[in-house]
C-alpha cells in the first residue's frame, strides 16, 4: 500500500472502531472488529475504486441545495455542489 492508501485504510479502521464503541461494543473488541472489517473490505474490494456519494438520495441532495440557495447566489451554490444551473433549478422546484 502507498501512503495515501495507508491513511485511508487507517481512517476507515478508526471510523469503524468509533461506530462500534458508539454502539456499546467494548473498546478492546471494537479495535479487533475494526481490523477484521477493514481486512474483509480490502479482500472484497481490493484494487477497485469505490465512490461514496455525499448524499444517500437525490432527495437529500436537493434538500441541501435548497438550504444553501438564498435566491441570489446561483453561482456559489452551483460551485459548492458541483452542479449546473439546470440542476439547481430542478432542485429548487
pLDDT > 60? residue 23: yes
Q: What is the mean pLDDT of residues 23-30?
A: 93
The count of other CB atoms within 10 Å of the CB of residue 92 is 12
Q: To the nearest whole number, what is the mean pLDDT of the chain?
A: 91
Q: What is the mean pLDDT of residues 61-85?
A: 94
HEC profile for 16-85?
HHHHHHHCCCCHHHHHHHHHHHHHHHHHHHCCCCCCCCCCCCHHHHHHHHHHHCCCCCHHHHHHHHCCCH
pLDDT > 90? residue 6: no
- Name the residue with cell 439547481: 88
pLDDT > 60? residue 1: no
| pLDDT computed for residue 2 by the predictor | 61
- Name the residue with cell 472489517: 37
> Which pTM was predicted?
0.57
Q: What is the pLDDT of residues 27-64, one digit of tens each?
A: 889 999 999 999 999 999 988 988 888 777 889 999 99
Which DSSP category does 72 fall into? Answer: S
Amino acid at each position: 500500500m502507498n501512503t495515501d492508501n495507508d491513511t485511508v485504510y487507517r481512517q476507515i479502521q478508526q471510523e469503524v472502531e468509533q461506530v462500534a464503541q458508539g454502539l456499546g461494543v467494548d473498546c478492546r473488541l471494537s479495535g479487533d472488529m475494526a481490523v477484521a472489517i477493514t481486512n474483509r473490505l480490502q479482500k472484497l474490494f481490493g484494487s477497485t475504486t469505490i465512490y461514496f456519494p455525499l448524499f444517500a438520495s437525490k432527495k437529500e441532495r436537493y434538500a441541501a441545495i435548497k438550504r444553501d440557495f438564498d435566491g441570489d447566489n446561483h453561482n456559489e451554490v452551483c460551485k459548492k455542489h458541483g452542479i449546473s444551473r439546470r440542476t439547481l433549478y430542478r432542485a429548487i422546484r
